[in-house]
Copies of this chain bind each other. A is one copy, B any other.
Amino acid sequence: MLDFNFKNPTNILFGKGKIAAIKEYISAESRVLVLYGGGSVKKNGTLDEVLAALQGYTLFEFGGIEPNPSYETLMKAVELVHKESIDFLLAVGGGSVIDGTKFVAAAALFEGEPWSILEQGGATVQKALPLGAVLTLPATGSEMNCTGVVTRKSIQTKLPFQSPYVYPIFSVLDPEKTYTLPVRQVSNGVVDAFVHVIEQYLTYPVNAKVQDRFAEGLLLTLIEEGPKALETPMDYEVRSNLMWTATLALNGLIGAGVPQDWATHMIGHELTAMHGLDHAQTLAVILPNLLDVCRQSKREKLLQYAERIWGITDGDAEQRIDGAIGQTRQFFEQMQVKTRLSDYGIGKDSIPDLLAQLKAHGMVQLGEHQEITLDLSQTILERSL
């Protein structure tokens, strides 16, 4: 096991009707900005429930945060925060809204140009406004971690940042709030959580037995429950299991003390920034080919994954690895997320620009061994066509 520090101070309020409890976590004299996305939380009543729970507070609203929240939009929220002397942010939505809210929290108190929070080698966040979240889409784990990803549309760039100051103080996880999600978002969420686990699990062995078992438990749950969420969308137990699984997939726990990869995410971010693919779509395209290309350096864990997750014990090692990668792709397709660039209308001619963006963003030595050079990214992208 590798050395690690682990702390996660977010208060999880899990279950039906928990929105009513958020008042206990926000001081009464706060000036609260409620941030949300495209308006689904208005239509399905979640926003009303939140506003009712906050009766008596001085409330402001900021809607319109996009999937892959944009710097341009978020900076308008920062302006509102300054203008209205907001001192608490409440995200109501999925990972994009929560990520965006984290950025607003940090940018509002940042001295200088907030874009530098996101740039490689850029500024470190030293403080942030306190924030909470009401989660409506299990997927990114943003509700219980200190990471945000922001896109600057004008330069087609999507970059992550981290800071202990942006852990949500609380996050409400009410599985009923996910009933009305479109199929595409449910599918994307399952694939996203699955790949989060893989990025922290499918690297090289460090004999971290608990982390491995926990990661495998999350993967098995996603495989069992993901398809059910498409078949029987109003099943509370299925939604509960998916919601808690997606949170635990990226709250720091299974990644503590083990190597981490994240190359699939970094290559995927370029696909989203340049071609507008959903985040999970990019992961479903890249991951199977990345595993194939890195099959030597990931060999031992791939064999463990084949056996413990997919029950593959027959055949030689290469066949078992092929089987596991094939099952992974098939699971994504079963979740209705396509796994080829061509499925999204992207051809070979796009690859040079994608590589140029990877280079521009410093993504030239990715993965747990920093072995994924631009050449290897090219191979992965070509195999993904």
- A residues near B (Cβ < 8 Å) are 1-16, 18, 207-210, 212-214, 216-218, 220-221, 224-225, 237, 240-241, 244-245, 248, 253, 256-257
Q: Given A214-B214, A216-B213, are A12 and B6 also a contact pair (CB < 8 Å)?
A: yes
User: In the assembled complex, how far is the CB of residue A104 from the closest CB belonging to chain B, in whole angstroms?
Assistant: 24
| Cross-chain contact A16 with B1 (CB below 8 angstroms) | no
20 A–B contact pairs at CB < 8 A?
A: A2-B15, A3-B14, A5-B11, A5-B13, A6-B12, A8-B8, A9-B9, A207-B240, A208-B244, A209-B220, A209-B241, A209-B245, A210-B217, A213-B213, A213-B214, A213-B216, A213-B221, A214-B217, A240-B257, A253-B253
Q: Given A207-B241, A208-B241, are A6 and B1 also a contact pair (CB < 8 Å)?
A: no
| Cross-chain contact B14 with A237 (CB below 8 angstroms) | no
User: In the assembled complex, how far is the CB of residue A333 from the closest CB belonging to chain B, in whole angstroms?
Assistant: 23
**A2 partner residues in chain B, CB cutoff 8 A:** 15
| Cross-chain contact A210 with B218 (CB below 8 angstroms) | yes
| Apart from A6-B12, A210-B248, 9 more pairs, CB < 8 Å | A3-B15, A4-B12, A4-B15, A7-B12, A208-B241, A210-B218, A213-B213, A213-B216, A216-B217
Q: In whole angstroms, how far apart are the Cα atoms of A15 and B245 in the complex?
A: 27
| Cross-chain contact B213 with A256 (CB below 8 angstroms) | no
**A208 partner residues in chain B, CB cutoff 8 A:** 240-241, 244
User: In the assembled complex, how far is the CB of residue A194 from the closest CB belonging to chain B, in whole angstroms?
Assistant: 14
| Cross-chain contact B241 with A1 (CB below 8 angstroms) | yes
User: In the assembled complex, how far is the CB of residue A317 from the closest CB belonging to chain B, in whole angstroms?
Assistant: 23
